[in-house]
Amino acid sequence: MKYIIGIDLGTSAVKTVLVNTKGEICAEASKNYPLLHEKTGYSEQNPEEWIQQTASALNELISKSDVRPEDIEGISYSGQMHGLVLLDKNHNLLRHAILWNDTRTTAQCHQLYEMIGEKRLLEITKNQALEGFTLPKLLWVKEHEPEIFDQAAVFMLPKDYLRFKMTGLIHSEYSDAAGTLLLNVSEKKWSEELCQLVGIDISMCPSLVESSECVGTINEEFSQKTGLTLSTKVFAGGADNACGAIGAGILSSGETLCSIGTSGVVLSYEERNDRDFAGKVHYFNHGKENAFYTMGVTLSAGHSLSWFRDNFAENESFEELLADINNVPIGSNGLLFTPYLVGERTPHADATIRGSFIGMDASHKKRDFTRAVIEGITFSLNESIEIIRENGKEITSIVSIGGGAKNDSWLQIQADVFNTKIIKLSTEQGPALGAAMLAAYGCGWYNSLEECADLFISSSKTYQPKLENVPVYKQLYALYKEVYYQTKDLSKKLNQFSRK
């Protein structure tokens, strides 16, 4: 039997899955790596950690599966979006990667509007200038680290750097390139106009390929590190959210995904390249050829729950922490949480807003705070769903994946807040499975990604909104939306006291 591997290079860990031709997960392995927060708003990683930990995970994957390396036909990737990796002309790493959740580039975002104009930027890229995107990071390095920028010959996105180290070849693909603010999303090419306006040589942009395209084979160095054969085909892969959509079967019009990882994502499939959301949500190229998707993002979704557990319940598992939330009524006994721990993206492109608990009193217990965190994350995601619906999109069901799909109570809260049917998948592997599906399709196992999805993906349970809960949550959601406007100025004033 033949096999393929999907690699998901996430924000906190790399996950690998081994899948056979029947779509069965035969083995999986993951390895963690640290985030580096040198200053408030900074978020970086050492890309060499990605390489070392991926090699370690692949070693473990092959060892525990007892599969012959020569039977592994292909590999593909999913990766955290927007991160900036800079290489010199000899392809040596110039600095740590600046990640998607880094918010140091507010000034550069303003500069982009001054240089390009907000309307023109939206026309070309379909997206606003936000701190998380790659182009503002490039401009920050150009301004604050000119000696590094002058040496830079090419920029790369995180998974593309990993693939380069595994093959020796440099490429990008459309779903990840769409998150740089340098891609003409409709025309699927780097924008010469934008590069000229911002003073970036277009030669710094890597060549573009389709997500399912074979871009090489494993090189000698990585073969020795992992045991993979030199004949193992390597496919371009996709951005984490595009691969998450593929792995959840979001491959046709009307299908919508809610993914709760470190960040939270609401993603809806689009066939057209000319939808206009005025930058309220992201509009990116899909990992499926000639397809697109709209997407809203909550920067601190699962991260908010991890932060709460690590600081206030460090000896509890997530299962233990959430076990008691059904004993707390809707509204967490008068407690609201806003998940703005590192700023926010949708619908508030605001790098300085910070999170809050509103309504605390002496009667509140840990379980009240826990439920408030869960409800706050879900409300934030609902803001993206609201925008998509307001623009004429009917959402009749949502596939939920990630941390929010691991708890029945949270899935029911999603159904009640979103007021729609929530679908839980039988085997939820997220972006790693989507990456594996790109490899399977690229290897020619199936005629289309849809055919692959029919075999690889099935649902296990659905959650219908409880009619008595929907109006209560609607009332609470309206209060939640007020908190941003009531705390916006306070967050800016408090920023002077933050750790620098």
Q: Which of 66, 69, 54 is nearest to 27 (CA)?
A: 66
Residue 437 in marked binding region: no
- CA-to-CA dists, residue 318 to 195, 278, 304, 308, 441, angstroms: 45, 38, 12, 10, 35
Return the half-sphere exposure (C-beta side, CA atoms, 13 A cut-off) of residue 335. 23
Q: Would you call 240 a catalytic residue per the annotation?
A: yes
Contacts of 30 (CB under 8 A, 6+ apart): 13, 14, 15, 16, 57
Alpha helix (H) residue ranges in 66-157: 106-116, 118-125, 134-144, 146-151
* The token pair that represents 297 in the structure block: 């993002």
Alpha helix (H) residue ranges in 3-65: 47-65
Q: What are phi and psi of 237, to 5 degrees?
A: 85, -165
Answer whether 181's CB lies under 8 Å from 133's CB. yes
* The token pair that represents 332 in the structure block: 């967490």
Q: What are phi and psi of 6, to 5 degrees?
A: -110, 130
* The token pair that represents 436 in the structure block: 């594996």
* The token pair that represents 122 in the structure block: 């939206």
The one-letter code for the residue type at 185 is V
Q: Which of 69, 82, 101 is nearest to 5 (CA)?
A: 69
Classify each residue of 380-404 as buried b or exposed e, where b means 16 or more C-beta atoms within 10 Å of its C-beta.
bbbbbbbbbbeeebebebbbbbbbb
The active-site residue out of 8, 102, 176, 240 is: 240
How many residues are there in the chain? 500
| Region of 384 on the Ramachandran plot (φ > 0 left; ψ -120 to 50 alpha; else beta) | alpha
Residue 81 in marked binding region: yes
What is the set of active-site residues?
240
Annotated binding site for substrate: 81-82
Annotated binding site: 81-82
